[in-house]
Amino acid sequence: MDEGVAILGVGVTPLRPISPELSQRELIFEAATKAYIDAGTEPAEIHSFISISEDFHEGTSITDEYTPDQLGAILRPVHTIAGDGLQGLAAACMLIQSGIADLVAVEGHCKTSNILNHEEVFAMALDPIYERPVGVPSHAIAALEMRRYLHETGLPEEAVAGVVVKNRRNALRNPLASYGASLTVEEVQASPLLASPLRVLHTSPYADGAVVLIVASAARARRKGRKPVWIKGIGWATETPWLAERSWGRATYTVVSAQMAYRMAGISRPRKEIHFAEVDDTYAYKELQHLQALELLTPQEATELTRGGDFEGPLPVNASGGSLGMGYCFDATALYRVAEATWQIRGEAGSHQVPGARTGVVCSWRGVPTTTGGVVVLQAD
Amino acid sequence: MARKRESSPQNPHDVGRVMREIPERPRGTPLKDQDIREGKVSLIAWKPHLEYRWDSGVAISRFLLGLKEGKILGVRCHSCGRTVTPPRAFCEWCFRPVDEWVELKDTGTVNTFSICYVTWDMKPLEIPQIPAVIEIDGTHPRVGFLHLLGGIGEKDVEAIRRRVRVGMRVQAVWKSPAERVGAITDILYFQPLE
Ligand SMILES: [Zn+2]
């Protein structure tokens, strides 16, 4: 982006399977407080606030109305994006590039533990007339995609298990992650089948959390005297709602999003120019599928990489532990990964720091049954 | 004003004639409840069964425990000097944690009210309900919450209308300690003090 938009501050709460000690608003207040301190700012300086939320996940409709207090946004411009976290980040870029705002707070949160019947929420996402009555669960939709992906690439199921082993091991080094574990491919493949070929351990477990990013114009970012991380390019796309019409083997929404983001960032050889990736792994096969769509690795190369079971390699992927290791928190997931990438580029990722992480990519997906996702390229100052 | 109908040859391509003959009110086929029940109309029904259990958090949990004990609790922010209820963990004006818990009186003043003739799911009420915003004593600036007025002693709407007014002083009427569960409904309603 010509004028430049930067991530100036990051605040998160650790991802946890349950969070009974804090209400959702208290959780967001914690993340927001951390983000404002990290950016060296305060709510009064923020020109516009964006919240990512989906009413069915909240159990409250018009959730925007409940946003201002915990962000310090009373009587200020606030709006909600009922979409992927990266779509929210894109909205922040638009506010800044259009000159409406210099400093924007983007918030995402999830209290997955407060939803007692996820399957009913998922059912609401299917077409009510020709899909819902069939009664197929969300994991089965993912299984259909995994089957077609393995069919088209010729990869064995063990390649998918390798992703699980790597990400959950990486999570052991990330204090924000909830599901760090030392597993073997055999153990993953011995976990129960949910809907073949998808197994329990191929699936990222739910987690609660809140994340706030402070996004700034170039002028504001420089003035703050902090270490800005530049949003060099951003893209997002949706394929089609028709289940039978989508490209089950490929993440075409990522192909389109990556083209948009790479073009904006001036990246022509992603394999050479990108040093690390935080890639959606809601289901383990998605990581491999997304890496292919990002033109970063072929499925075979990705499999080779996961065999090492570590994030140190030519292209470290999900050094954070990903959703498999950190926990999955719906549309807030993408913002957590942007936070992770920001720390990597700043050199503040602690014991899971990727050496020489100057340019990174974050790739998101809105989950079953969507074909929506985004890509953002982040770069050091 | 009724549009004048003109007679003209029945030429299907005569757009002008077609336009002239469009009645002022569209002549649709009215649907009856029965048509829908008998499946004469193509409709798909779906009844959501969504279930949630929200973590009430630090501030609201303590508020609810207070209600169970028959107390209305509030919080104070030393930065702006406000005392507010329902309590919150942080002051949304000052964007900092609140400083102090206070027990408030269970009396207050009616900020605004309505005499409501339907239930929440729009069924007619014979004895109207009186929703009101009650400013709880001891809060500053005066804040409080939505609740109901009751114990008005009048069943007749005209009499209720004469008695209830903005600025009326009221007091909480509580459920018995055994019936209280730690919910906003532990207060049955607020009744006039005057
Ligand atoms: Zn205050």
Q: What is the model's pLDDT at position B25? A: 65
Measured CA to CA in angstroms, residue A72 lies from A46, A226, B17 at distances of 9, 22, 63
Q: Among all residues of chain B, which has the CA nearest to that of A59?
A: B52
Q: Render pLDDT for A30-55 as a digit per residue (tens, 0 to 9).
A: 999 999 999 999 999 999 999 999 99
Measured CA to CA in angstroms, residue A317 lies from A81, A153, A230, A340 at distances of 27, 20, 20, 12
The residue assigned the tokens 């469009």 is B22
Residue A233 bridge partners (DSSP):
A377
* A282 and A162 housed in the same domain: yes
Q: How far is the CA of B101 from the centre of ligand 1 (A)?
A: 13
Q: Among all residues of chain A, which has the CA nearest to that of B94?
A: A72
Residue B57 forms contact with A (CB below 8 Å): yes
Contact (CB, 8 A) for A15 and A176 = yes
pTM for this entry? 0.92
Q: What is the model's pLDDT at position B74? A: 98
Q: How far is the CA of A104 from the centre of ligand 1 (A)?
A: 23
Quick one: which of A17, A98, A108 has its CA closest to A71? A108
> Mean of the pLDDT values across residues A101-105?
97
Residue A308's pLDDT band (cuts 50, 70, 90): low
> Mean of the pLDDT values across residues A9-15?
98
Q: What is the model's pLDDT at position B39? A: 79
* A166 and A220 housed in the same domain: no
Q: What is the model's pLDDT at position B182? A: 97
* A219 and A253 housed in the same domain: no
pLDDT above 50 for B2: no
Q: B57-192: which CATH topology?
A: OB fold (Dihydrolipoamide Acetyltransferase, E2P) (2.40.50)
Torsion sign, CA atoms A346, A374, A337, B53: positive
Around Cβ A268, how many Cβ atoms within 10 Å?
A: 9
Q: What CATH number is attached to the domain comprising A354?
A: 3.40.47.10
Omega before A369 within 30 of 0, i.e. cis: yes
Mean pLDDT is lowest, of A108-122, A183-197, B2-16, for B2-16
Contact (CB, 8 A) for B138 and B102 = yes
* A64 and A188 housed in the same domain: no
Q: Render pLDDT for A339-381 as a digit per residue (tens, 0 to 9).
A: 999 999 999 999 999 999 999 999 999 999 999 999 999 999 8
* A29 and A157 housed in the same domain: no
ipTM of the complex: 0.90
Contact (CB, 8 A) for A335 and A89 = yes
pLDDT above 60 for B1: no
Q: What is the model's pLDDT at position A157? A: 94
pLDDT above 90 for B146: yes
* The residue type at B189: Y
Indicate the length of chain A as a whole number. Answer: 381
> Mean of the pLDDT values across residues B21-49?
77
* A52 and A108 housed in the same domain: yes
pLDDT above 90 for A11: yes
Q: What is the model's pLDDT at position B19? A: 62
Residue A56 forms contact with B (CB below 8 Å): yes
Omega before B86 within 30 of 0, i.e. cis: yes
Q: How far is the CA of B98 from the centre of ligand 1 (A)?
A: 7
Q: What is the model's pLDDT at position A223? A: 83
* A107 and A183 housed in the same domain: no
**Based on the number of CB atoms within 10 Å of its own CB, is A215 exposed (0-12), middle (13-18) or buried (19 or more)?**
buried
* A306 and A328 housed in the same domain: yes
Residue A75 forms contact with B (CB below 8 Å): no
* A191 and A260 housed in the same domain: yes
Helix (H) or strand (E) holding A212: strand A209-217
Neighbours of ion ligand 1 (CB under 5 A): B 77, 79-80, 91, 93-94
Around Cβ A238, how many Cβ atoms within 10 Å?
A: 17
Domain housing A26: 5-116+207-229
B residues 77-116 lying closer than 8 A (beta carbon) to A: 88-90, 92-93, 95
Q: What is the model's pLDDT at position B32? A: 84
Residue B28's pLDDT band (cuts 50, 70, 90): confident
Residue B15 forms contact with A (CB below 8 Å): no
Residue A268's pLDDT band (cuts 50, 70, 90): very high
* A161 and A24 housed in the same domain: no
**The two three-digit tokens of residue B75, written as one number:** 């919080």
Q: Where are the beta strands (DSSP E) in A239-336?
A: 276-279
> Mean of the pLDDT values across residues A106-116?
97
Whether A171 is covered by a domain: the verdict is yes
Contact (CB, 8 A) for A344 and A360 = yes
Whether A97 is covered by a domain: the verdict is yes
Q: Render pLDDT for B42-91 as a digit per residue (tens, 0 to 9).
A: 778 889 999 999 999 999 999 999 999 999 999 999 999 999 999 999 99
pLDDT above 80 for B29: no
Q: Where are the beta strands (DSSP E) in chain B?
A: 72-76, 83-84, 90-91, 96-97, 100-104, 107-113, 116-118, 124-136, 144-149, 169-174, 187-192
pLDDT above 60 for B8: no
Give the relative orientation of helices A252-265 and A284-293 as an angle to the nearest 10 degrees: 50
Whether A24 is covered by a domain: the verdict is yes
> Mean of the pLDDT values across residues B11-31?
66
* A218 and A266 housed in the same domain: no
* A178 and A223 housed in the same domain: no
Tally of domains within chain A: 2
Interface test with chain A among B53, B55, B60, by most A beta carbons within 10 Å? B55
pLDDT above 70 for A306: no
Whether A129 is covered by a domain: the verdict is no
CA dihedral B100, B106, B109, B115 (to 10 degrees): 130
Residue B194's pLDDT band (cuts 50, 70, 90): confident
Whether A348 is covered by a domain: the verdict is yes
The DSSP string of B88-135 is -SEETTTTEE--EEEEEPSEEEEEEE--EEE-TT--EEEEEEEEEEEE
**What DSSP state is assigned to residue A192?**
P
Average pLDDT over chain A, rounded to an integer: 94
pLDDT above 90 for A225: no
Mean pLDDT is lowest, of A32-41, A255-264, A270-279, A305-314, for A305-314
pLDDT above 80 for A115: yes
Interface test with chain B among A22, A34, A122, by most B beta carbons within 10 Å? A22
Whether A127 is covered by a domain: the verdict is no
How close, in Å, is residue B75 to chain A by CA atoms? 15
Q: What is the 3-state secondary structure (H, E, C) of A237-262?
A: EECCCCHHHCCCCCCHHHHHHHHHHH
**Cβ-Cβ contacts under 8 Å, B59 against chain A:** 23, 26
Whether A122 is covered by a domain: the verdict is no
Q: Render pLDDT for B159-173 as a digit per residue (tens, 0 to 9).
A: 888 899 999 999 999
Residue B12's pLDDT band (cuts 50, 70, 90): low
Residue A26 forms contact with B (CB below 8 Å): yes
pLDDT above 90 for B92: yes
pLDDT above 80 for A301: yes
Average pLDDT over chain B, rounded to an integer: 88
How many angstroms separate the CA atoms of A374 and A87, rounded?
7
> Mean of the pLDDT values across residues B126-146?
94
Around Cβ A266, how many Cβ atoms within 10 Å?
A: 10
Residue B18's pLDDT band (cuts 50, 70, 90): low
Percent of chain A with pLDDT over 90: 89
> Mean of the pLDDT values across residues A217-230?
88
When CB atoms are compared, the residue of B49, B57, B93 closest to A26 is B57
